[in-house]
Structure 1
Amino acid sequence: MVPYSRLDRMADLELEPRRNETRRSPGHPAGTADPFTPHPAKGWGLPLAVLIAGMFMSILDTSIVNVAMTSIRKDFGASTESVQWISTAYSLTEGVVVPASAWLGARFGLKRVYIWSLVLFTVASALCALAGGLGSLIFFRILQAIPGGVIPVTCQTILYRIVPRNRLGAAMGMYGVGVVVAPAIGPTLGGYLIEHFDWRAIFYVNMPIGILGTIAAVAVLSKFPTDRGRPFDLAGFACIAGALFALLLALEEGSSWGWTSYPVLILFAVAVNLLALFVVVELQVDHPLLNLRVFRHWPFVNSLVLVAGMMIGLFAVMFYIPVFLQSVQGLSALDAGLVLLPQGMVMAVLMPVAGQLYDRFGARWLAVAGLTLTGTGILMLSDISVGVPRGEVVLGTVVMAAGLGLGMMPVMTGGLSALPNAFTDVGSAISTLTQRVSSALGLAVLTAIVTADRAQLWADRSGLLAGSGADINPRVAQLQQQGDPGLIQLWQQLSNQVQTQAYGNAFAIAGTVTLAAVAFAFLLRSGRPAAGADKPMAH
């Protein structure tokens, strides 16, 4: 147990405002630049473009792979459950790696870590494209997820090092193109590549981006000071890595294993206990993996709540709408992707605009408008029917996308900019974890609700088939007279109706949750953000 007086001295050091940009960090060599001091504001546009390219590539790969699952399953002759591990293994590995990203950047240098992450991601993408079987593809996806988890945290930390505080909104607006637009256009791009080439093309497409991005990073990015004396918190990493692995595995497999099955319940119990142990460890060690004192800042915590609400809505739509369009309305992967393309274009246009507005007016009213539009758009999709026109689907997704384009980056920027520069890397890691866990948790809960709704809706409609004589539905009787073809048609119609109604109920819940988060948006700061390089921490 660390003595109270020692903890108190540590807290005083961390809570002390950094009013002088050239002031030495604790443990940093005298005569060198403070690693937490932002670089001069000159020339940050080109480095930002390099960061956007890497971020776009890493996030695009998480959504573009989903549309290729059917093609991969047919090519390898594997079951649907086995093929799903292509995505599951990636998510689990990425979740485990993210907490260590902040330490890697501090220990080896942000530029070096970013470059090597791009190289490894590109090589792993090529190996995925060359995979000769399902086992090797899953293994290469694990390799790909290691840099895939490091890149977002590293990119965001570098951004906060090179961009002055009064221009963070504009920078994050551009950066958001990689964060939100990539998953939005993933289904369209993936559908095109699969329809015109092969599923391996979704991995090959990363290679030119990765090669050019690596060359540009070497030439453009500045070196950042390192903290080579910072030890690795092995105990903390073991706790948080084990907790995230157990939690994400339970969320990924809960719908197939059963939410009340012993494996899932045990995984949840392990996750809760390891998270509790992680908190204890981090508050005791001298050099925590993730400094939990970052949660003393209410603006940052509030931003995490709002980001979680938006991510739940985004991933609900991005998961269920393509499934609805393909399985219920019979569209191809490319056509389904084209229906979703307008929302990606709307976000790409609005995010830079929202960044400029944030620099002038702050986050509050952009967040309020963004969450309101996001929730409204999702609620519009709750009225879908089997024969809903594509225009109505496009309208609902575009309204949602307009809200995300206006609100997502101002919320994230407002939260992270409230932190002192010394906590930027920790804040970036926790923000990334929040996005991953909230999207997985929200999608898992909605999937459980959809599964339960489908069972109940099937039971409600069973009376259509159980009736006899005068009680039977005339349309049902007509289909029954056609024999097996008629019964198959009847089953397909009922299946589509049940599935569509279950998706509509899920959208109603996701939209309501998003609208409820508007109350938290009113608690954000308004007004032009301060131009200072740093701010004192709140006591």
Structure 2
Amino acid sequence: MAFPTRSSVARPRLPYKWIVILVVVFGAFMTILDQTIVNIALPRLQTAFHAPLNVVQGSITAYILTQGVMTPTTAFFVDRLGGKRFYLLALGIFTIGSALCGLAWSLPALIIFRVVQGVGGAFLYPVAVTLVYREFPPQQRGTASAALGVAALLAPAIGPTLGGYLVTYSDWPYIFFINVPLGIIGILLGIWLLREVRSQVQVRFDFAGFLLAASGLTTLLYALSAASTDGWGAPKIVGLLAASLLLLSVFVAVELWRVNRDRAVLLDLRLFSNSPFLFSNIASALITFVFFGGLFLFPIYLQSLRGLSALQSGLLLLPQAFASICMAVIGGRLFDRFGARTVVIPGLVIMVFTLWQCAYLQLSTPLWWLIVIYLLRGVALGLIIQPLNASALQDMRSQQFAQASSLYNVIRFVSTSLGVAILATLLQSQTKVYVGEFIKQAPGSHSGVTHLIESQAMMQALQDTFWLSVVVAVAGVLAGAFIRSRRILDRSEEEAIELRSAMVAE
């Protein structure tokens, strides 16, 4: 009997599509982690730089504004430089920016370095989605989205815990230094394992669209960031919102004019004519509103009202992370088998239920019930976030992934800022209203009673913000009902040919 020689035995190799996910997950995780981990360190930054909270918050605002401005340019740079080169460049900029942030010697220096970090961070997630979706056939993109979603869901969940630990037992620079070894590993793996895919068509940069989008998004995001402190009725905020509306309206008109004449555009707004893309974006924007708004509200409830430390509150949120990761994997497979609506609608309904329960939170609510709520919230997120992303891109051709992903992320940035701004303003304004009402009912209160009044007033204001979140989430359920639910059979032969022809040797 003849036995195969050692050299003739084929060794199983991990398919390249899974290698792409293992590589780009570093960048996706880092950029989303950074959006949440810095929030927990704001009090320490106040002490370190001897600055008020609204000034220190400029480090977060600078990061968000930079991401909002740069994200629309993703498609151009992917087409011009190639997906691999541009991903490595963005990851390198983000890693260097993180190191500089940790070395910042003053608050202005930190804000400048956060801008550098934001330039790289703006591209990492949309480019990661583009690289992954180019390798997976349509009938497996739900699974691919779920695998990438492990980073997207884990990062905001462990961000407060990790940030609380670093701030409590170390110092604030380490919330930035933690990105450096991850970034170096990601860059080395990318150089070694990723293949280059470049567009055969050389596109021109849309300077007019960029200037209009950059100015409009900067004005809008800055107005939303400042509204929670200045008030929505302040002349500055009203003027900024009006200016942003005008600039973005002109941007839409210019982009439509250019695309109708076959000229290069910054963002292809024709993508909204695709029904899954449109309604997935609407549902995603509404859920992003309540999700990131919740990330802002929960620490206030747990730390300011319940007296937990930053680390304790972060640990209490960990069950949400594990639940969301498990359900993301399940949700991705269900998406591939049954389509988007079958997965997303149950998740949206569960999200509405958790927000409804949060609207009844009290200062004495048992911690075990909070854990149950967070677990259910994690289940909902696992069924919503990545399936919506996959649904938005399910009908896109390979050359449209960068455009669609960057447009999807721009909307996510705006809805994130809008959610935090509106809920923060509502919390502050309603707290003042309730404090006034309670003081009228208990005139001449001493300091101990006044503290109780302020705590109860904030608790009721917090309930009001969750009721608003319930309304927004219900609107998300209605948007999700319009998402076309169908199983995706296979990648078209035409798309496969496009991908093969686009492969360029490194």
TM-score (norm: length of structure 1): 0.86
- C-alpha distance in structure 2 between counterparts of 1:194 and 1:85, whole Å: 19
- The answer to whether the 8 A contact 1:166-1:359 is kept is yes
Name 1:430's counterpart in structure 2. 407
- The answer to whether the 8 A contact 1:310-1:404 is kept is no
- C-alpha distance in structure 1 between counterparts of 2:82 and 2:178, whole Å: 28
- C-alpha distance in structure 2 between counterparts of 1:79 and 1:189, whole Å: 24
Name 1:406's counterpart in structure 2. 383
Name 1:524's counterpart in structure 2. 483
- What are the equivalent positions in structure 2 for 1:212-251 lying under 5 Å apart? 212-226=185-199, 229-251=202-224
Aligned residues: 478
Name 1:20's counterpart in structure 2. none
- C-alpha distance in structure 2 between counterparts of 1:135 and 1:402, whole Å: 40
Q: Does 1:457 align with 2:457?
A: no
Per-residue deviation, 1:227: 5.1
Q: Which amino acid in structure 1 is aligned with residue 206 of structure 2?
A: D
- C-alpha distance in structure 1 between counterparts of 2:36 and 2:24, whole Å: 19
Cα deviation code 1:136-189 (max 9, x no counterpart): 111100100001101111111111111111110111001112222211110011
- What are the equivalent positions in structure 2 for 1:49-88 lying under 5 Å apart? 49-88=22-61
Cα deviation code 1:468-507 (max 9, x no counterpart): xxxxxxxxxxxx5xxxxxx221121111111111111111
Per-residue deviation, 1:465: 3.2
Could you list the runs of 4 or more consecutive aligned residues of structure 1 that deviate by over 4 angstroms after TM superposition?
Answer: none
Q: Which amino acid in structure 2 is aligned with residue 100 of structure 1?
A: T
Name 1:155's counterpart in structure 2. 128
2:205 partner SS:
coil
Name 2:333's counterpart in structure 1. 356
Cα deviation code 1:407-465 (max 9, x no counterpart): 22112211211223332211101110111111111221222222221122122112233
- The answer to whether the 8 A contact 1:300-1:416 is kept is yes
1:344 to 321, 325, 330: 321
- The answer to whether the 8 A contact 2:31-2:121 is kept is yes
* Alpha carbons of structure 1 residues 281 and 519: separation in structure 2 relative to 1, 3 Å: same
Per-residue deviation, 1:125: 0.6
- C-alpha distance in structure 2 between counterparts of 1:411 and 1:44, whole Å: 21
Identity among equivalent pairs (%): 33
Cα deviation code 1:290-317 (max 9, x no counterpart): 1111111111100001111211121121
- C-alpha distance in structure 2 between counterparts of 1:49 and 1:390, whole Å: 36
1:372 to 349, 372, 396: 349
- The answer to whether the 8 A contact 2:20-2:131 is kept is no
- What are the equivalent positions in structure 2 for 1:140-539 lying under 5 Å apart? 140-226=113-199, 229-285=202-258, 286-466=263-443, 487-533=446-492
- The answer to whether the 8 A contact 2:25-2:148 is kept is yes
Q: Which amino acid in structure 2 is aligned with residue 56 of structure 1?
A: F
Q: Which amino acid in structure 2 is aligned with residue 362 of structure 1?
A: G
Name 2:97's counterpart in structure 1. 124
1:44 partner SS:
helix
Q: Which amino acid in structure 2 is aligned with residue 325 of structure 1?
A: L
- C-alpha distance in structure 2 between counterparts of 1:519 and 1:321, whole Å: 26
Per-residue deviation, 1:535: 8.6
Name 2:501's counterpart in structure 1. none
Per-residue deviation, 1:101: 1.2
- The answer to whether the 8 A contact 2:229-2:425 is kept is no
Unaligned runs of 5+ in 2: 1-13, 496-506
- The answer to whether the 8 A contact 2:41-2:172 is kept is yes
- C-alpha distance in structure 1 between counterparts of 2:144 and 2:404, whole Å: 17
Cα deviation code 1:165-223 (max 9, x no counterpart): 11101110011122222111100111011111111111111011100000011111110
